[in-house]
Amino acid sequence: MAIDYNVFYSKKGKGYRKEQIVDWSAYEVPIDTRPGRLAGNSRIWGDASHEVQRKVIDAIIVAAKADGFTVRRMAMLLAMAKIESGFNPDAAAGTTSAAGLGQFVKNTGEAFGLNSQNRFEIDSSIKALIGYFKENEAIALKKKKPDYFVYKYHHDGPFGEYGGTQLATDKFAPLAAIYEKALIAGHVLTILDPNGQAIAGAEIKLAQNNQSAVLKTNEHGMLPTFMANPDFGPIAVYIKKVDGTFKYLADLAIDKLESAWTLVAPKDRVPLKTHLHEPKAAVAAHAPDTHKVGSGETVSRIARDHGTTYQELCKLNGIEKPYVIFPGQILKLPPKNAGVSRASAPTHKPATPPVAPPGRAVVKERRDPDSQHPVANVMAPPSGGVAAAIAYAMKHAHPKSQHLCLKYVKRALLATKMIHTYPGVIAAKDFGPSLAAEGFRNLLETTPGTNLNTAPVGSIIIYHPVEKQEHNGKTIYGHIEIKTETGYVSDHFTEHPTYRTDEVTMVSPVGRSIPVSYKVSGIWFKE
């Protein structure tokens, strides 16, 4: 599904004057601004950042897809949220009790599960919006009215007449038509870096049939929606490098008039972010030397060959334990005249001093007891679907756990079409069969010896409680997370596995808060 978000974004509306605000309004209720919560800037219609609005739009689309909505119904649902709240999850009226995405008044909201505690929470608001939409859709069908009358009944109720007919005809129906077109027309391309993060401001050249155009990605790494004719063959995609030349990325096969793709820029595209945020001249003046990793090399060997320590080399390139590198990976090297601090000098002499390359000092190193310098292994970069799922999960992750790991992982997989139906499984530990049904394979079974360190990026890690299944009368649901290049993400992000398990037994130590250990029961991966 190609989505042109610029069509949806709202600008801040007008606020209410003090004398307009009634006692039963939620307009002056303080906004919950806890870290990680999806929040508007105020209670005013449309007063939310584009980032928040986009997350709201994505959440509505994911929920609607999971409920089996067609593109037309999805467009009407989005148009309803736009008219009612401008995609501000904290919107509230000053003259009534209406609040939230769907601007439910108190009695109607309570009928669909909303109350003073959850009326501004995104999941509850969307659930109520979908429930009320379906109820009003049934009324329109029963009364043999056009489908856009779903908004008339949302606004007026099933029997009243408070201007809803005119609003549905003059405002809602045209907006729904625009949104339907925005959801399906044209092609959309998103560019991610190897960590699954959107690359903003990248210049992308698209070439087809001896014609080309250069477009720039927005803050979400997405190009403006573009059109291409299937009759003219594939589109060649190039990305602009620091030196002004374009590097080929891929060919996109065009077989229909609307598509959406995600491409991952290769690892040697690291300088891209530098040229986006710093003057090119400064980059050229201070850029370190580089080394292209060859098969069989380790960080220790590369560091020795270039007169530095593996600690400095890893720090410069953001490489963490267990220090895995890849053939073809471009590593930055310290400047040739950079000296070695005494703190990093060794306290012993090797039996045979290494020979220094011309112009570089001999540098020796001390290894950490638990460090590993594996030989560079050929590992395929994550596929577009995997990278997109990681990017979606990272974008929606909270700073801390919300105890909703499975919910967030399912959403990420569904939104990026890694799975095609929303599974009804409620416990993370039981999610394996659902993944198997969608074509994932458990590497613990198909590739014996796989552990958290060797699992490929994009693996779905499932933990199962070992000693017992309940604690203090409550079920222990286990845990699930997606492995990224920099850590692990579910409803929150962490640089290390949530449960650090032994590589052989795959069992964690017994926890303090809950006296059980966790076993990795699945490392699920889909090419």
Question: Three-state SS for 325?
Answer: coil
In a domain, 272, yes or no: no
Distance of CA 270 to the CA centre of its chain: 20
Q: Mean pLDDT over residues 399-424, rounded?
A: 87
Whether residues 245 and 323 share a domain: the answer is: no
In a domain, 281, yes or no: no
**So what's the pLDDT on residue 363?**
39
Whether residues 25 and 80 share a domain: the answer is: yes
What phi-psi label fits residue 202: left (phi over 0), alpha (psi between -120 and 50 degrees) or beta? beta
Residue 327: pLDDT band with limits 50, 70, 90: low
Closest alpha carbon to 109 in 171, 56, 173, 154: 154
Whether residues 318 and 418 share a domain: the answer is: no
**So what's the pLDDT on residue 45?**
94
More confident residue, 499 or 228: 499
pTM of the model: 0.41
- The rounded distance, in Å, linking the Cα atoms of 492 and 36 is 9
Range in 94-103, 165-174, 320-329, 373-382 the model is least confident about? 373-382
Whether residues 142 and 209 share a domain: the answer is: no
Whether residues 231 and 195 share a domain: the answer is: yes
Out of 131, 166, 184, pick the residue that ends a domain.
184
Out of 355, 380, 405, pick the residue that ends a domain.
380
**So what's the pLDDT on residue 344?**
36
In a domain, 280, yes or no: no
Whether residues 178 and 191 share a domain: the answer is: no
Whether residues 473 and 334 share a domain: the answer is: no
68-121, pLDDT tens digit by residue?
888 889 999 999 999 999 999 999 999 999 999 999 999 899 999 999 999 999
In a domain, 67, yes or no: yes
- The rounded distance, in Å, linking the Cα atoms of 41 and 44 is 8
- Percent of residues, the chain, with pLDDT higher than 90: 34
- Percent of residues, the chain, with pLDDT higher than 70: 80
Whether residues 365 and 417 share a domain: the answer is: no
What phi-psi label fits residue 410: left (phi over 0), alpha (psi between -120 and 50 degrees) or beta? alpha
In a domain, 329, yes or no: yes
Q: How many CA atoms lie within 13 A of 52 on its CB side?
A: 24
For the domain that residue 452 is a member of, what is the CATH number? 3.90.1720.10
Question: Three-state SS for 479?
Answer: strand
509-522, pLDDT tens digit by residue?
998 788 899 999 99
In a domain, 416, yes or no: yes
Contact by Cβ (8 Å): 263, 249:
yes
Out of 380, 414, 432, pick the residue that ends a domain.
380
For the domain that residue 256 is a member of, what is the CATH number? 2.60.40.1120
Range of the domain at 262: 187-266
**So what's the pLDDT on residue 159?**
79
216-236, pLDDT tens digit by residue?
888 777 887 676 666 677 888
pLDDT of residue 434 exceeding 80: yes
Q: Which residue carries 């045209």 as its tokens?
A: 174
Contact by Cβ (8 Å): 205, 175:
no
Whether residues 338 and 399 share a domain: the answer is: no
For the domain that residue 96 is a member of, what is the CATH number? 1.10.530
Q: Which residue carries 């050229």 as its tokens?
A: 284
Range 378-381 contact pairs with CB under 8 angstroms and sequence separation of 24 or more: 378/295, 378/326, 378/327, 379/326, 379/456, 380/456, 381/194, 381/264, 381/266, 381/267, 381/457
Whether residues 30 and 97 share a domain: the answer is: yes
Range in 347-351, 370-374, 489-493 the model is least confident about? 347-351
- The rounded distance, in Å, linking the Cα atoms of 86 and 47 is 8
- The rounded distance, in Å, linking the Cα atoms of 309 and 171 is 66
- The rounded distance, in Å, linking the Cα atoms of 466 and 457 is 26
- The rounded distance, in Å, linking the Cα atoms of 497 and 512 is 17
In a domain, 273, yes or no: no
pLDDT of residue 400 exceeding 90: no
In a domain, 225, yes or no: yes
3-state secondary structure 242-266: CCCCEEEEEEECCCCCEEEEEEECC
Q: Which residue carries 């990680």 as its tokens?
A: 36
How many CB atoms are closer than 10 A to CB 435? 24
Whether residues 143 and 39 share a domain: the answer is: yes
179-198, pLDDT tens digit by residue?
887 776 567 788 887 776 77
**So what's the pLDDT on residue 335?**
73
Residue 2: pLDDT band with limits 50, 70, 90: very low
**Total number of domains in the chain:** 4
Q: Which residue carries 């090797």 as its tokens?
A: 350
**So what's the pLDDT on residue 160?**
78
More confident residue, 493 or 221: 493
**So what's the pLDDT on residue 283?**
33
Q: What is the mean pLDDT of the chain?
A: 80
The DSSP line for 108-149 is: HHHHTT--TTTTT-HHHHHHHHHHHHHHHHHHHHHTT--TTH
Whether residues 241 and 342 share a domain: the answer is: no
